[in-house]
Structure 1
């Protein structure tokens, strides 16, 4: 079964079942090896880079992010 099918079916579960499933999935990530963690970060970086290249996300200058973060911490 492919991940898209699993996701579609999981989203039709009752809320309590989805919460239990999400919890189990999150716990399973704690058992990842260092190479698996590195690969997951690489996959995420590639996904984000593709979103940028395709114009699917709006980039925010670092200065603006820092200014907003400082304002939230006041």
Structure 2
């Protein structure tokens, strides 16, 4: 004899499927928003760097290198 799910089980399955679909949609929306925010931040940083003069850019690069060296020294 074949097993057939009850009407209640079918209803629960449909509701669970709807819930899973909604959660996946919300998760995709949040991921898209996070990616967009990162892209905006990168664009703002690129614009800030483009607006710097050569001397300011060299100073910023030197400061970043110095900070990286200090971080590497602390790890050791």
Q: TM-score range by the shorter chain?
A: 0.3 to 0.5
Larger radius of gyration: 2
Answer 1 or 2: which has greater helix percent.
2
Indicate the structure whose relative CO is greater, using CA pairs within 8 Å and at least 6 residues apart.
2
TM-score w.r.t. length of structure 2: 0.44
